[in-house]
Amino acid sequence: MDTFWRLQTYLEHHPAPRLVVLCLAPTEIGPPRARRELSQVKSARSSPSVRERFLWSYGKKGAYPPPLQAEPLRDNIRLGLMTTLGRFSGGEQYYLNKPSLDLGGLSYNGLKEEIENHRGYSPHMEKKPPLPPTARRDLSIGKYLPAEGATARDPYPVSPAFDDSIRLAARMLAAKNIPLLIRLTPVLQGANAEHFDRIQAWLDQLESDYPNVVGDRPEVMQYGPECFMDDRDHFNLSGSEKFTDLLASRVTRLLSLGVDRYRAHSGVGQAVSGIGSTAE
């Protein structure tokens, strides 16, 4: 639903674009993933989510419980000592200007300047060590449980709520004769078996129901470890460049061919004759 409202707000205040591209990870189209119990996670500590902290801090007084912490007494003592030490060590500006290994050797102020110079791109990503060539992501030991309905054979279910949101967007864009390209971001090679029947069926159905929708194929692409940072979730510079080049080529091709011809050339989807949007 959030996708639909943001898109609607944009179209209300800007000229209609020639194409809308929805780019997201395969895990984002499924039901929310529950956090594992602390005993099931390798780390003995677990930080509360930003959402939990924000609602407790700024929400209606008494409406939200305080965020759970693994060791609240120890955390409060540690925070107090760190705050006192920070004030005696130069204060806020000292720490904002202090280089950090977690930021690729940049300080917070340096990172801010780099992001502004790169127009929003986080340059410290490329400075983190890449995954080793033999790396594989074991989803059974992560902080989050698999999405409801996920199986080893077909790990990416589609949430009905997400499907409803995409259908709202597709109808709104169809009324304005704007194509919608859905391109899922690549996952780490070997993270899951190469069977994604539900995503394929979902994209096929969207293309059948909405002549302006293109589900780019293959549905789930797999990149090697050399394309990911050490957190195994985010691209490094190499992965970002590789995926950006691919996405740019797909956008250019779709704008050149139009929806029906793009589908026909890709050999996927069910084009509806005479209705598909074209980009002239």
And the tokens for 56?
A: 């407790």
- pLDDT (tens digit per residue) in 150-197: 877 778 888 898 899 899 999 999 999 999 999 999 988 876 666 788
* 274 in a structural domain: no
161 and 122 part of one domain? yes
* 41 in a structural domain: no
95 and 77 part of one domain? no
75 and 141 part of one domain? no
111 and 6 part of one domain? yes
Q: Which residues of the chain have pLDDT under 50?
A: 40-46, 269-280
69 and 154 part of one domain? no
- Residue 30, helix vs strand vs coil: coil
61 and 156 part of one domain? no
* 156 in a structural domain: yes
**pLDDT computed for residue 92 by the predictor:** 81
96 and 144 part of one domain? yes
* 42 in a structural domain: no
Q: What share of the chain is helix, strand, coil (3-state, %, to 5)?
A: 50, 10, 45
Domain count, the chain: 2
What is the distance between the alpha carbons of residues 55 and 52, in angstroms, rounded to a whole number?
5
**pLDDT computed for residue 132 by the predictor:** 60
Strands (E), 126-212: 180-184, 187-188
* 246 in a structural domain: yes
6 and 137 part of one domain? yes
- Please name which of 166, 266, 158 lies closest in space to residue 209, comparing C-alpha atoms: 166
* 38 in a structural domain: no
Which alpha helices (H) appear in 99-157, and where do they start and end?
108-117
83 and 204 part of one domain? no
| Domain around 160 | 2-33+90-266
Q: Which residues contact 62 (CB under 8 A, 6 or more apart)?
A: none
* 21 in a structural domain: yes
80 and 175 part of one domain? no
List C-alpha distances in Å: 249 to 109, 199, 219, 244, 254.
35, 22, 16, 9, 9
* 278 in a structural domain: no
104 and 234 part of one domain? yes
- pLDDT (tens digit per residue) in 210-220: 999 999 998 88
- Please name which of 211, 152, 162, 212 lies closest in space to residue 184, comparing C-alpha atoms: 162
Q: Which residues contact 6 (CB under 8 A, 6 or more apart)?
A: none
**pLDDT computed for residue 272 by the predictor:** 30
Run of H or E residues at 3 = helix 2-13
- 144 φ, ψ (degrees, to nearest 5): -115, 145
212 and 177 part of one domain? yes
In this structure, what DSSP letter does residue 29 have?
A: G
- Residue 45, helix vs strand vs coil: coil
With beta carbons less than 8 A apart as the criterion, state whether 191 and 136 touch: yes
Letter for the amino acid at 65?
A: P
**pLDDT computed for residue 41 by the predictor:** 46
